[in-house]
Amino acid sequence: MVNLYLDGCSLTYGVGLDPVDTLASNFEQAGYNVLNFSRPGKSNMAIAQDTFNNINNANIFVLGFTFSARYHLRFNNIDIDLLPSNYTWQYDRDLIQGSNISDIAKNLHKNFYLLFDHDHWNNFSDMLVDNTINSLNFENKKIFVFSWEKRNTKNKIFYPIIPDRFTDGHLNNVGTKKLFNIIQNQLGNP
């Protein structure tokens, strides 16, 4: 079985979908062993770092880069994702026992976006995307890279235009299947 690394934000993860309709499930049904690192609210920084840390764990990489305005921190193995609208994290309460991480994250979020420079973070995301693609190409990995936000990169990136969505903007099962078919046609059979 071929290992396929999948990463991205909620649009790649499949927020709102039944588990059998997600992009990861579609790849599993097609015969891949999927290493799914996508999660809601994930930033380009976290996508690039997790890809770098898993470069030897798969031969095929499907990366759905997201919006530049997102930022990622890690504290005691807790992922803290900052989005302009809010912050999210996945954590085990035992890891932060007695901590006021929620208050700290709220203040950090507020102050970070007071100093946010969109042009800077667009450029930073462009660099991360290009360097991630270059690293995967250097390692002779098979890759499919798409982005939900237009990037200014030297490498070619696919920009999905898929109208089949839920009212919150996430892809519905029809849209996810369309995205899967586009990617699968480019990758070929496992």
Q: What is the pLDDT of residue 94?
A: 47
**Counting beta carbons within 10 angstroms of the beta carbon of residue 23, is it exposed (0 to 12), middle (13 to 18) or buried (19 or more)?**
buried
Q: Are residues 59 and 122 in the same domain?
A: yes
- Coil vs helix vs strand at 1: coil
| Residue 1 near residue 28 (C-beta atoms within 8 A) | no
Q: Are residues 88 and 163 in the same domain?
A: no
Q: Are residues 63 and 121 in the same domain?
A: yes
Provide the residue-wise pLDDT of the chain in tens; the chain has 190 residues.
899 999 999 999 999 999 999 999 999 999 999 999 999 999 999 999 999 999 999 999 999 999 999 988 887 777 888 888 876 655 545 445 545 677 777 788 888 888 889 999 999 999 999 999 999 999 999 999 999 999 999 999 999 999 999 999 999 999 999 999 999 999 987 7
Of 59, 90, 115, the residue that ends a domain is 115
Continuous H helices in the chain:
10-13, 23-29, 44-53, 101-114, 118-138, 173-187
Q: Are residues 135 and 105 in the same domain?
A: no
Q: Are residues 23 and 48 in the same domain?
A: yes
Separation in Å, CA 137 to CA 58, 101, 132, 134, 186: 13, 39, 9, 5, 16
Q: Are residues 101 and 147 in the same domain?
A: no
Domain tally for the chain?
2
Q: Are residues 124 and 47 in the same domain?
A: yes
Token code pair at residue 22: 């997600």
Of 85, 115, 145, the residue that ends a domain is 115
Residues 6+ apart with CB under 8 A from 183: 62, 144, 146
Q: Are residues 148 and 108 in the same domain?
A: no
Residue 148: domain span: 2-69+117-187
- Coil vs helix vs strand at 60: strand
Q: Are residues 127 and 169 in the same domain?
A: yes
Strand partners, 113: none
Q: Are residues 84 and 143 in the same domain?
A: no
Tokens 């999948």 appear where? Answer: 6
Of 59, 92, 115, the residue that ends a domain is 115
